Amino acid sequence: MPNRPTTGTARPGTSDPGLDRLKAVLADWRNSLLDMGGRNRLLNFQHTRTSTLEFRSPDAAAVLSGLARGWDFAPVEEEPEEDGGVRLDKKPRERQSGLVTQKTTRASLDAAVYQLRQKSGQMFNDYGLWVLWLGVGMLDWREEGAHECSSAPLLLVPVELRRDGRGRTRLHPAEGQDRILNPALAVKLERLDVDWSPVAGADAADPRAVLA
């Protein structure tokens, strides 16, 4: 009888040396394409006037748990001032519902939300890239000899800003996108001989495990 042709499928529990080498080469290429300098905002995050928002309330766990139903932005209570910049209203504020950001005026909040919504939608429509992410768990790190620390998020959660029927812009999870661990930070810490395995072994879908 003629010999049966063999297939290239490896038996369960065995590794394919050729495939392993290919994966290693692809990983090296991917790492070489990552910008490890200070301009990479995944490694050195800094706020800008209109392209970033900081959520000061509620905390990260509450934001993530309520993301599926969507979040409104809390109204911005602008403080009246008299001549000389002295506050007139000194009564303590009540706790607000919704996302409280670092913006101190309604105009600045609306401008930031509009820019984020427009630019992220345009980037996805033009290039198929999702660029609007919620950074969770900021890690402060510094290279040897550096005088200042950099901040980098551990977890990246894809989010979307949608307008509802009443004209409100609300924060929702982005459809068809997955939460990921910060890929640039993983490469950077590896190059600095910092053990990333406790984070790398965590499930990105479980923020508590990532931040533990």
User: Taking 90 as the threshold, does the pLDDT of residue 67 lie above it?
Assistant: yes
Looking at residue 52, what is its pLDDT?
A: 93
Structure confidence at residue 178 as a pLDDT band (50, 70, 90): very high
CA distance 177 to 205: 12
Looking at residue 146, what is its pLDDT?
A: 82
Looking at residue 155, what is its pLDDT?
A: 96
- Count of alpha carbons within 13 angstroms of residue 34, beta-carbon side: 18
139 neighbors 185 (Cβ within 8 angstroms): yes
Average pLDDT over residues 205-212: 87
CA distance 140 to 202: 20
The pLDDT tens digits for 20-56 are 776 666 565 555 556 666 678 889 898 888 889 999 9
Residue 53 φ then ψ, to 5°: -135, 140
pLDDT top residue among 172 and 1:
172
pLDDT top residue among 31 and 141:
141
> Which residue's structure tokens are 């900081």?
54
Amino acid in position 58: P
| pTM higher than 0.85 | no
Average pLDDT over residues 113-127: 94
Task: Give how far Cα 126 sits from Cα of 87, 123, 162, 166, Å.
Answer: 46, 5, 18, 28
